[in-house]
Structure 1
Amino acid sequence: MRSRSEEEDGTAIANRTAYPRGKRVSLIPADHACGLCPVRLQTFCGLLEAEDLARFKYQGSTGRLKPGEPLFHEGDAADLVYNLTAGTLKLYKLLPDGRRQIIGFLLPGDFLGTAPGDHAFSAEAVEPAEYCRFARARFDAFVDTHPEIGRELYLMAVHELAAAREQMVLLGRKTAAERLATFLLGLFDRARARNADWEIVRLPMSRTDIADYLGLTKETVSRSFTAFRTAGMIRLLPADRVELLQRGPLEELASANAG
């Protein structure tokens, strides 16, 4: 079962993680649908010339999600691939005892659905979100004729594997403070990779969501935020924003027990 609020307008923009690599082209008119996409040049579709991008975009469609609305559920057939263009998604698995383990958060510029078969986790909107989607068969056929995209997908897979290994260390060996420091630095580093105002990041996810991701309780996460603020490492700002004040102490915490 899928519950999605979708806007089918024939527009699609391919996406990937927020770690730009390779040469990006910017030959799309400003009034073109892809030219208006705020994350196009951060994704692998930024590698495509205007003609190829025009053909590519008509192979997919766009959709929107309300907060709490699922994009798909664990066990659904993975016959579509997605790229997030706005908002935040959380990925989670339900454990046999009914508890929830959040395994990651997706931000604008992230690509989702590369693994074939059934989805191994659920994806749900943390805040209002927008995405592009493609039928897997059509997407794979396009990639087959564009090796530069295939290379980008390979690099994505390498990054995702490294992230999964880091998460194992995060949950297995680090203290609560070390886990939160690692999480925050990851968000700041992603913002810096996007050439954004990386010293201030948004945290649209709840403290409970962060706790489920880090394997902690909500109360422990709140205490750790307070400790970081009191120590002068971060400043908590309105609108769910966090400002980085001292990177060094956070890096020391994040690197502890990482060997």
Structure 2
Amino acid sequence: MSWPPFDSPCLAPPPDDAGPLGPCLHCQVRHLAVCSALSPEEIQALETAASVQALEPGAVLARQGETRRHVYTVTRGALRLVRVSADGRRQVAGFALPGDFVGLSGAPTHQHDIEALAATELCRFGADAMQRLGTRYPHLQAKLLERACVELDTAREQMMSLARMTPIERMGDFLLRLAARQARAGNPGPAVALPMPRADIADHLGLTVETVSRSLTALRTRGLIALPGTYVVEILDPAGLKALEAA
């Protein structure tokens, strides 16, 4: 299996004059992460509980049903969250991109398989250590709660969207959401990286691979997007994509 070439804002090494605050303060996705709520002094405390974990493309971070021992912030690359039903059907629940927090759950076990889509770097915290930090710094706890609420709202909105949208509308909505996430991470477009293969998009949107390909071709034919490469889409007409749902 070939893996998409994908790179995103990462945990950059601190500059020579970074001083004692270490890499967390200079993380390029800090403004997207839950630690954005912390002061420099609190960042120092966070660093003592953090470690960096690197994953090769295709590596498994966790399996569904395993005890949840760590939480993670994606600092480079991308992850996919996969759930396999009792009858063996595969559903891609979502994708974690730089700045996303992974592992936040009230359950003691992982609810999904978590797999690396590309070379990926994570900032890792013990689940218990993060809970203690949340108690110590209430605004961090508030940021975690806010993140959980946003994820819940997004999941509900996506569920409703999938129920009422045509395949082409689903594809357009997916591209706009992905573009917005990458813009927040420092890539304003129009080129949008697709860190996932077509099969993952299909399993995420409830479509077949063939329907995903046809939908992308239809969007290109309408002049809404360009397809310069397998893993890149250029959004030429964001308003036109947005208008698909209202059509």
State the TM-score bracket (shorter-chain normalisation). Answer: 0.7 to 0.9
Say whether residues 1:253 and 2:244 are aligned partners.
yes
Residue in 1 that maps onto 2:88: 98
Candidates 169, 177, 196, aligned match of 1:186: 177
| One-letter amino acid matched to 1:93 | R
Residue in 2 that maps onto 1:32: 22
**Which SS does the other structure have where 1:98 is aligned?**
coil
Q: CA deviation at 1:46?
A: 2.6
| One-letter amino acid matched to 1:148 | H
Candidates 195, 198, 206, aligned match of 2:197: 206
**Which SS does the other structure have where 2:52 is aligned?**
strand
Give the alignment of 1:88-237 within 5 angstroms.
Answer: 88-116=78-106, 117-237=108-228
**Which SS does the other structure have where 2:199 is aligned?**
helix
Give the alignment of 1:71-90 within 5 angstroms.
Answer: 71-90=61-80
Q: CA deviation at 1:88?
A: 0.6
8 Å Cα contact 2:50/2:124 also seen in 1: yes
8 Å Cα contact 1:170/1:214 also seen in 2: no
Residue in 1 that maps onto 2:51: 61
Q: CA deviation at 1:29?
A: 2.4
- For residues 225 and 236 of structure 1, what CA distance do their matches in structure 2 show? 8
- For residues 173 and 70 of structure 2, what CA distance do their matches in structure 1 show? 32
Task: Give the aligned length.
Answer: 230
Q: CA deviation at 1:147?
A: 1.4
Q: CA deviation at 1:136?
A: 1.2
Residue in 2 that maps onto 1:22: none
- For residues 44 and 126 of structure 1, what CA distance do their matches in structure 2 show? 22
**Paired-residue identity, %:** 40
Q: CA deviation at 1:202?
A: 0.3
The CA RMSD over aligned residues, in Å, is 1.9
Unaligned runs of 5+ in 2: 1-10, 12-16
| One-letter amino acid matched to 1:235 | A
Q: CA deviation at 1:133?
A: 1.2
Q: CA deviation at 1:239?
A: 6.7
Render the CA deviation track for 1:173-222: whole Å, top value 9, x for unaligned. 22111111110110112233334323221001000110010010001000
Unaligned runs of 5+ in 1: 1-12, 14-27
Per the alignment, do residues 238 and 148 of structure 1 end up closer, same or farther by CA in structure 2, a change over 3 Å counting? same
**Which SS does the other structure have where 1:242 is aligned?**
strand
8 Å Cα contact 2:199/2:209 also seen in 1: yes
**Which SS does the other structure have where 2:241 is aligned?**
helix
TM-score normalised per structure 1: 0.83
